[in-house]
Amino acid sequence: MLKKRHYLLAVIGILMGIVLTPIHTHAAEDNSKEPIMMAYYRTWRDVTMPHDANSSLPDRNVTAMTDIPEGVDIVSVFHYVKSGTDQQKFWDTLKNTYVPTLHARGTKVIRTIDVREIWQVPHTGNAPTTAEYEQYAQQLIDTYLTPRGLDGLDIDMESTLTTQQEEMAVGTFKALAKKLGPTSNTGKLLIYDTNKDNHSLFKKVAPYCDYLFLQAYGRSTAMLDQTWATYRTTISPQQFLPGISFPEEQDRNRWDDTIEPYETSHAYAFANWQPQNGSKGGMFVYAIDRDGKQFGDDTITKTDFSWTKRLIETLKQK
C-alpha cells in the first residue's frame, strides 16, 4: 500500500511538473530571432525607369534594386508611376535579375499595395460571398506576386474606412490568409503597414499578419512607447517594426529622422528602442535610394547606403 502511495505521488508529481512547465508562447520563441531590417524601394527611381516616371526633375535615375546592401532582410516593391510611363524594362529586370539576385542573398521581395485594393471586392449580391472573396484574393496573388516570383504582400493602410469597406477588407484578409501569412504555412508574407495607432480593422486581421510596420516618421521614442501601448494586447513585440523615412526629393515633410551625427538621430534611437515587454521585430527605412540625403537636396545621386548599414549593425547589437 505504501509503495502504491509513493508511486501515485510520483505520478502526480510528474503530471504537475508537466502542467507547471512554462509554455513557450509564440512571442517568447520569437525573442530569439535576429531583428529584421526592411526597406521600401521606390520603383520610379530605379535605373531602368524613365527619369520622369513620377517626377518633374531632370536628373536621370542611377540606382538599381540590386545595389541595396546585404543585411536587408525584406525589400518592398513600392510602385507608383504616371499613366503612360514605359515600365516594361523595370518589370522584366525585376523578374529576371533583381528577384533572383536578392533571393540568393536571402532577401525576400514583397509588393506593397493600398488598402483600397483589399476592400474593392467585385461581387454580385449585397456583399461578397466566400467564393468571391477567395477568387479576388487569388486574383491579387496572380497579379502582384506570381508573375515575378515575389514573397508576399504588404497592405498600406492610411485611410478611414466605412463599416462596409472594413467588412470587405476583413473578408479579403481571411481569404488571403489561406495562401499568405502565418496561418498559411506557405512561407509567403502578409504584412500590414500603417501610420495609425491600433484600430478596428487591424484588430480583426492581426491573426493573419506576420508583421505590423508602423510609419513612425518624425516621432520620438516616447511617442513609440505610446503607440506600442495601443498594440501590445493585439500582437507580440516581435511582430512590431517601427520605421523611419529618408527625405524624399521635392518633399515638404520634414521628418528629420536621419540628421548627423548618427548617434543623436531619430533613426539611431529607433534602432535601440525596445517595447517594454519584449524585443521588437526590427525596423524599416522608407525611400532607401535616398539614404544619406538631407532635406532640401533634390538631386538624384548614387548612395553608399551608410545609414542603412549602420542601422543594421546597431540592430544586431540588440
Q: Is residue 32 very low, low, confident or very high in pLDDT (cuts 50, 70, 90)?
A: low
Cell of 62: 542611377
- Is-contact 176 137, C-beta < 8 A? yes
pLDDT tens digit string along 83-99?
999 999 999 999 999 99
pLDDT over 90 (residue 314): yes
Q: What per-residue confidence (pLDDT) applies to 233?
A: 97
Q: Which CATH class is domain 34-316?
A: alpha beta
Q: Is residue 33 very low, low, confident or very high in pLDDT (cuts 50, 70, 90)?
A: confident
pLDDT over 90 (residue 27): no
pLDDT tens digit string along 200-236?
999 999 999 999 999 999 999 999 999 999 999 999 9
How big is the CA angle at 87 (ends 85 and 92), to the nearest 5 degrees?
170
Specify the range with the lowest mean pLDDT, choosing from 7-16, 113-122, 223-232, 291-300: 7-16
Catalytic residues: 158
Q: Is residue 11 very low, low, confident or very high in pLDDT (cuts 50, 70, 90)?
A: very low
Specify the range with the lowest mean pLDDT, choosing from 182-186, 249-253, 254-258: 249-253
Count of Cβ atoms closer than 10 Å to residue 189 Cβ:
21
Mean pLDDT of the chain: 91
Q: Residues with Cβ < 8 Å from 308, sequence gap 6 or more?
A: 37, 39, 69, 71, 72, 285, 288, 291
